[in-house]
Amino acid sequence: MKIIGTGSALPKKVVTNDMLSEFLDTSDEWIVPRTGIRSRHIITDEKIEDLGAKAALSALEMSGLKPEEIDYCICSNVVSEYVTPGLGCVIGAKIGLKCPCVDINCACPGFIYALDIAETHYLAGKAKNVLIICAEQPSRMCDWSDRSTCVLFGDGAGAVVLGPGENIKGIKLHSQLDSNTIWERQSLMPTPYYLGDNSAVGLQMKGREVFKFAVTASTTDVEDLLEELGMTKNDVSWYIVHQANLRIIDAIKQYMGEPDSKFPVNISDHGNSSSASCTILLDEFNRKGCFKEHDVLVFSAFGAGLLSAVAVVEW
Protein backbone atom coordinates (compact mmCIF):
# COMPACT_ATOMS: atom_id res chain seq x y z
CA MET A 1 0.00 0.00 0.00
CA LYS A 2 0.99 3.64 -0.18
CA ILE A 3 0.20 6.52 2.19
CA ILE A 4 -1.88 8.98 0.16
CA GLY A 5 -3.37 11.18 2.89
CA THR A 6 -2.70 12.24 6.47
CA GLY A 7 -4.73 14.23 8.97
CA SER A 8 -4.81 15.13 12.65
CA ALA A 9 -6.92 16.95 15.22
CA LEU A 10 -6.18 18.20 18.71
CA PRO A 11 -8.30 19.39 21.64
CA LYS A 12 -8.23 23.18 22.03
CA LYS A 13 -7.19 23.26 25.72
CA VAL A 14 -3.42 23.59 26.17
CA VAL A 15 -2.17 22.66 29.63
CA THR A 16 1.34 23.84 30.52
CA ASN A 17 3.61 22.34 33.16
CA ASP A 18 3.07 25.43 35.30
CA MET A 19 -0.70 24.84 35.18
CA LEU A 20 -0.12 21.28 36.49
CA SER A 21 2.04 22.57 39.32
CA GLU A 22 -1.00 24.55 40.57
CA PHE A 23 -2.57 21.30 41.87
CA LEU A 24 0.29 18.74 41.80
CA ASP A 25 3.64 18.60 43.57
CA THR A 26 5.52 18.96 40.29
CA SER A 27 7.29 21.65 38.27
CA ASP A 28 8.42 22.66 34.81
CA GLU A 29 11.98 22.18 36.14
CA TRP A 30 11.26 18.49 36.90
CA ILE A 31 9.20 17.68 33.81
CA VAL A 32 11.20 19.31 30.99
CA PRO A 33 14.66 17.74 31.58
CA ARG A 34 13.16 14.26 32.22
CA THR A 35 10.65 14.19 29.39
CA GLY A 36 11.00 17.15 26.99
CA ILE A 37 7.31 17.96 27.57
CA ARG A 38 6.34 21.62 28.06
CA SER A 39 2.59 21.47 27.37
CA ARG A 40 -0.09 19.08 26.11
CA HIS A 41 -3.59 19.28 24.59
CA ILE A 42 -6.28 17.93 26.94
CA ILE A 43 -9.90 17.15 26.15
CA THR A 44 -12.48 19.41 27.83
CA ASP A 45 -15.80 19.60 25.97
CA GLU A 46 -14.65 17.66 22.88
CA LYS A 47 -15.52 14.02 22.22
CA ILE A 48 -12.76 11.69 21.07
CA GLU A 49 -15.00 10.50 18.21
CA ASP A 50 -15.23 14.11 16.92
CA LEU A 51 -11.44 14.50 16.96
CA GLY A 52 -11.12 11.13 15.18
CA ALA A 53 -13.69 12.22 12.57
CA LYS A 54 -11.91 15.54 11.97
CA ALA A 55 -8.54 13.80 11.52
CA ALA A 56 -10.09 11.22 9.18
CA LEU A 57 -11.87 13.82 7.03
CA SER A 58 -8.70 15.83 6.63
CA ALA A 59 -6.72 12.68 5.61
CA LEU A 60 -9.49 11.78 3.14
CA GLU A 61 -9.45 15.28 1.67
CA MET A 62 -5.68 15.06 1.09
CA SER A 63 -6.05 11.61 -0.50
CA GLY A 64 -8.75 12.79 -2.92
CA LEU A 65 -10.90 9.78 -1.92
CA LYS A 66 -14.50 10.00 -0.78
CA PRO A 67 -15.60 8.15 2.39
CA GLU A 68 -17.56 5.62 0.28
CA GLU A 69 -14.37 4.68 -1.59
CA ILE A 70 -12.75 3.32 1.60
CA ASP A 71 -12.94 -0.51 1.71
CA TYR A 72 -11.81 -1.06 5.28
CA CYS A 73 -11.31 1.09 8.37
CA ILE A 74 -9.11 0.28 11.35
CA CYS A 75 -9.42 2.41 14.48
CA SER A 76 -6.66 2.24 17.06
CA ASN A 77 -7.99 3.28 20.46
CA VAL A 78 -7.25 2.35 24.06
CA VAL A 79 -10.25 3.97 25.74
CA SER A 80 -13.45 5.66 24.66
CA GLU A 81 -16.84 6.18 26.28
CA TYR A 82 -18.26 3.47 24.02
CA VAL A 83 -17.95 -0.12 25.14
CA THR A 84 -19.97 -0.97 22.06
CA PRO A 85 -20.04 -0.25 19.17
CA GLY A 86 -16.33 0.12 18.51
CA LEU A 87 -15.02 3.68 18.16
CA GLY A 88 -14.27 2.99 14.47
CA CYS A 89 -18.00 2.39 13.84
CA VAL A 90 -18.93 5.56 15.74
CA ILE A 91 -16.46 7.65 13.70
CA GLY A 92 -17.35 5.81 10.47
CA ALA A 93 -21.04 6.70 10.92
CA LYS A 94 -20.14 10.36 11.46
CA ILE A 95 -18.06 10.67 8.30
CA GLY A 96 -20.14 8.47 5.99
CA LEU A 97 -18.00 5.33 5.65
CA LYS A 98 -19.77 2.37 4.02
CA CYS A 99 -17.13 -0.27 4.84
CA PRO A 100 -16.39 -2.64 7.73
CA CYS A 101 -14.76 -0.88 10.70
CA VAL A 102 -12.68 -2.67 13.32
CA ASP A 103 -11.11 -1.42 16.53
CA ILE A 104 -7.75 -2.53 17.84
CA ASN A 105 -6.22 -1.88 21.25
CA CYS A 106 -2.47 -2.31 20.86
CA ALA A 107 -1.61 0.72 23.01
CA CYS A 108 1.06 3.11 21.76
CA PRO A 109 2.30 1.03 18.78
CA GLY A 110 -1.34 0.72 17.56
CA PHE A 111 -0.70 2.64 14.33
CA ILE A 112 1.94 0.14 13.16
CA TYR A 113 -0.28 -2.81 14.16
CA ALA A 114 -3.07 -1.21 12.10
CA LEU A 115 -0.67 -0.72 9.19
CA ASP A 116 0.15 -4.44 9.37
CA ILE A 117 -3.56 -5.37 9.20
CA ALA A 118 -4.11 -2.95 6.30
CA GLU A 119 -1.20 -4.33 4.28
CA THR A 120 -2.25 -7.93 4.98
CA HIS A 121 -5.79 -7.20 3.73
CA TYR A 122 -4.39 -5.44 0.67
CA LEU A 123 -2.01 -8.30 -0.19
CA ALA A 124 -4.88 -10.81 0.24
CA GLY A 125 -6.90 -8.79 -2.30
CA LYS A 126 -9.55 -7.93 0.29
CA ALA A 127 -9.10 -4.14 0.41
CA LYS A 128 -7.76 -1.48 -1.96
CA ASN A 129 -8.23 1.73 0.05
CA VAL A 130 -7.86 1.63 3.82
CA LEU A 131 -8.41 4.33 6.45
CA ILE A 132 -6.50 4.12 9.74
CA ILE A 133 -7.68 6.35 12.58
CA CYS A 134 -5.71 6.59 15.82
CA ALA A 135 -7.84 8.43 18.39
CA GLU A 136 -6.66 8.57 21.97
CA GLN A 137 -7.54 10.30 25.24
CA PRO A 138 -5.00 9.09 27.81
CA SER A 139 -6.03 12.04 30.00
CA ARG A 140 -9.18 10.01 30.79
CA MET A 141 -7.05 7.05 31.92
CA CYS A 142 -4.74 8.81 34.37
CA ASP A 143 -5.16 9.32 38.06
CA TRP A 144 -4.77 13.11 38.17
CA SER A 145 -3.37 12.99 41.70
CA ASP A 146 -0.49 10.77 40.50
CA ARG A 147 2.28 13.11 39.32
CA SER A 148 4.36 10.22 37.97
CA THR A 149 1.87 9.52 35.14
CA CYS A 150 -0.58 12.36 34.43
CA VAL A 151 2.12 14.88 33.47
CA LEU A 152 3.27 12.63 30.62
CA PHE A 153 0.19 12.41 28.41
CA GLY A 154 -1.84 14.45 25.94
CA ASP A 155 -4.94 13.76 23.84
CA GLY A 156 -5.48 13.85 20.08
CA ALA A 157 -6.21 11.96 16.89
CA GLY A 158 -4.33 11.23 13.70
CA ALA A 159 -5.41 9.46 10.53
CA VAL A 160 -3.81 7.95 7.43
CA VAL A 161 -5.39 6.94 4.11
CA LEU A 162 -3.65 4.13 2.24
CA GLY A 163 -4.16 3.33 -1.42
CA PRO A 164 -2.72 0.73 -3.81
CA GLY A 165 1.08 0.59 -4.03
CA GLU A 166 4.18 -1.30 -2.99
CA ASN A 167 5.52 1.31 -0.58
CA ILE A 168 5.27 -0.66 2.66
CA LYS A 169 8.64 -2.37 2.52
CA GLY A 170 8.38 -4.31 5.77
CA ILE A 171 6.72 -4.46 9.18
CA LYS A 172 7.97 -6.22 12.31
CA LEU A 173 5.81 -6.74 15.39
CA HIS A 174 7.32 -7.67 18.73
CA SER A 175 5.96 -8.58 22.15
CA GLN A 176 7.36 -9.14 25.62
CA LEU A 177 4.06 -9.92 27.27
CA ASP A 178 3.55 -8.61 30.78
CA SER A 179 0.45 -7.01 32.26
CA ASN A 180 2.14 -5.47 35.33
CA THR A 181 4.37 -2.83 33.80
CA ILE A 182 1.69 -0.55 32.28
CA TRP A 183 -1.96 -1.17 33.10
CA GLU A 184 -5.24 0.40 34.02
CA ARG A 185 -8.47 -1.23 35.21
CA GLN A 186 -11.97 0.11 34.67
CA SER A 187 -15.05 -0.83 36.63
CA LEU A 188 -17.85 -2.63 34.76
CA MET A 189 -21.59 -2.69 35.41
CA PRO A 190 -22.38 -4.39 38.74
CA THR A 191 -24.39 -7.62 38.61
CA PRO A 192 -26.33 -9.50 41.30
CA TYR A 193 -23.82 -12.37 40.93
CA TYR A 194 -20.30 -11.03 40.31
CA LEU A 195 -18.07 -11.61 43.34
CA GLY A 196 -14.78 -10.10 42.16
CA ASP A 197 -13.24 -6.68 42.72
CA ASN A 198 -14.99 -4.12 40.48
CA SER A 199 -13.03 -1.02 41.48
CA ALA A 200 -11.35 1.17 38.89
CA VAL A 201 -7.59 1.78 39.10
CA GLY A 202 -6.07 4.69 37.16
CA LEU A 203 -3.09 4.17 34.86
CA GLN A 204 -0.17 2.46 36.60
CA MET A 205 3.28 2.49 35.07
CA LYS A 206 6.73 1.31 36.10
CA GLY A 207 8.42 4.21 34.34
CA ARG A 208 12.03 3.01 34.49
CA GLU A 209 11.17 -0.48 33.18
CA VAL A 210 9.17 1.01 30.33
CA PHE A 211 12.05 3.33 29.51
CA LYS A 212 14.48 0.40 29.18
CA PHE A 213 11.99 -1.69 27.17
CA ALA A 214 11.33 1.24 24.83
CA VAL A 215 14.98 1.90 23.98
CA THR A 216 15.95 -1.78 23.64
CA ALA A 217 12.85 -2.81 21.67
CA SER A 218 12.97 0.15 19.32
CA THR A 219 16.66 -0.13 18.44
CA THR A 220 16.50 -3.93 18.08
CA ASP A 221 13.30 -3.81 15.99
CA VAL A 222 14.74 -1.19 13.64
CA GLU A 223 18.12 -2.88 13.17
CA ASP A 224 16.54 -6.33 12.65
CA LEU A 225 14.00 -5.11 10.09
CA LEU A 226 16.53 -3.05 8.11
CA GLU A 227 18.83 -6.08 7.99
CA GLU A 228 15.96 -8.37 6.87
CA LEU A 229 15.16 -5.91 4.08
CA GLY A 230 18.82 -5.67 3.01
CA MET A 231 18.85 -1.97 3.93
CA THR A 232 21.18 0.11 6.10
CA LYS A 233 20.71 3.20 8.24
CA ASN A 234 22.04 5.23 5.29
CA ASP A 235 18.87 4.33 3.36
CA VAL A 236 16.67 5.88 6.08
CA SER A 237 15.47 9.45 5.53
CA TRP A 238 13.28 9.84 8.65
CA TYR A 239 12.58 8.05 11.93
CA ILE A 240 8.98 8.62 13.05
CA VAL A 241 9.36 7.49 16.66
CA HIS A 242 6.54 7.31 19.23
CA GLN A 243 6.62 10.59 21.17
CA ALA A 244 6.68 9.22 24.73
CA ASN A 245 9.74 10.92 26.16
CA LEU A 246 12.45 13.03 24.51
CA ARG A 247 15.09 11.13 26.52
CA ILE A 248 13.89 7.85 24.98
CA ILE A 249 14.15 9.38 21.50
CA ASP A 250 17.63 10.78 22.32
CA ALA A 251 18.77 7.37 23.61
CA ILE A 252 17.53 5.66 20.41
CA LYS A 253 19.25 8.31 18.30
CA GLN A 254 22.52 7.89 20.19
CA TYR A 255 22.45 4.09 20.08
CA MET A 256 21.75 4.15 16.34
CA GLY A 257 24.41 6.83 15.76
CA GLU A 258 21.91 8.78 13.68
CA PRO A 259 21.66 12.61 13.47
CA ASP A 260 18.96 14.80 15.07
CA SER A 261 17.88 15.92 11.60
CA LYS A 262 16.37 12.46 10.84
CA PHE A 263 14.11 12.57 13.94
CA PRO A 264 11.12 14.92 13.69
CA VAL A 265 9.72 15.61 17.18
CA ASN A 266 6.63 17.35 18.55
CA ILE A 267 6.58 15.97 22.11
CA SER A 268 7.34 19.38 23.59
CA ASP A 269 3.79 20.65 22.99
CA HIS A 270 1.89 17.32 22.73
CA GLY A 271 3.13 14.89 25.39
CA ASN A 272 2.49 11.19 24.83
CA SER A 273 -0.76 10.69 22.87
CA SER A 274 -0.46 6.89 22.74
CA SER A 275 -1.13 5.43 19.27
CA ALA A 276 -2.12 8.84 17.90
CA SER A 277 1.41 10.10 18.48
CA CYS A 278 3.10 8.76 15.30
CA THR A 279 0.16 9.77 13.10
CA ILE A 280 -0.05 13.33 14.48
CA LEU A 281 3.72 13.70 14.05
CA LEU A 282 3.49 12.32 10.51
CA ASP A 283 0.68 14.69 9.57
CA GLU A 284 2.33 17.78 11.06
CA PHE A 285 5.62 17.19 9.22
CA ASN A 286 3.84 16.09 6.05
CA ARG A 287 1.89 19.36 5.99
CA LYS A 288 5.18 21.24 6.44
CA GLY A 289 6.29 19.56 3.19
CA CYS A 290 9.18 17.64 4.82
CA PHE A 291 8.78 14.29 3.03
CA LYS A 292 9.87 13.88 -0.60
CA GLU A 293 8.88 11.10 -3.00
CA HIS A 294 10.99 7.94 -2.38
CA ASP A 295 12.07 9.11 1.11
CA VAL A 296 12.29 6.12 3.46
CA LEU A 297 10.34 6.56 6.70
CA VAL A 298 10.96 4.19 9.62
CA PHE A 299 8.10 4.14 12.13
CA SER A 300 8.95 2.82 15.60
CA ALA A 301 6.64 2.63 18.62
CA PHE A 302 6.40 0.80 21.97
CA GLY A 303 4.04 0.62 24.92
CA ALA A 304 1.66 -1.42 27.08
CA GLY A 305 1.46 -5.11 26.40
CA LEU A 306 4.39 -4.86 26.32
CA LEU A 307 4.25 -4.39 22.57
CA SER A 308 6.54 -2.74 20.08
CA ALA A 309 6.58 -2.49 16.31
CA VAL A 310 8.52 -1.04 13.41
CA ALA A 311 7.57 -0.34 9.80
CA VAL A 312 9.67 0.74 6.83
CA VAL A 313 7.62 2.80 4.39
CA GLU A 314 8.66 4.51 1.17
CA TRP A 315 6.99 7.90 0.74
Does position 58 interact with ligand UT7 (CB under 6 A)? The reply is no
Q: Is 272 in the site for ligand UT7 (CB under 6 A)?
A: yes
139 binds ligand UT7 (CB under 6 A): no
Contact set for ligand UT7, span 104-133 (CB under 6 A): 108
Q: Where in 159-198 is the site for ligand UT7 (CB under 6 A)?
A: none
Active site residues: 108, 242, 272
Q: Looking at 9, 42, 112, 151, which residue binds ligand UT7 (CB under 6 A)?
A: 151
Residue 244 touching ligand UT7 (CB under 6 A): yes
Nearer to ligand UT7, 69 or 143 (CB): 143
Nearer to ligand UT7, 72 or 213 (CB): 213
Give the list of residues 6+ apart from residue 227 with CB closer than 8 angstroms, or none. none
Answer for which of 16, 26, 181, 237 binds ligand UT7 (CB under 6 A) is 26
Q: Report, in angstroms and rounded to the nearest whole number, the Rg of the chain calculated over CA atoms.
A: 19
Is 307 a binding residue for ligand UT7 by CB under 6 A? The answer is no
What Cα–Cα distance (Å) separates residue 39 from each residue in 103, 203, 251, 260, 288? 29, 20, 22, 22, 21
Closest Cα to residue 156, out of 169, 139, 168? 139
Q: At what angle do helices 28-35 and 246-256 cross, to 10 degrees?
A: 30
Minimum distance from CB of 108 to ligand UT7 (Å)?
Answer: 4
- What is the size of the binding site for ligand UT7 (CB under 6 A)? 21
CB of 216 to ligand UT7, least distance (A): 12
207 belongs to the binding site for ligand UT7 (CB under 6 A): yes
Identify whether the C-beta of residue 283 lies closer than 8 Å to the C-beta of residue 54: no
Half-sphere exposure of 310 (CA within 13 A, CB side): 25
Contact 160, 3 (CB under 8 A): yes
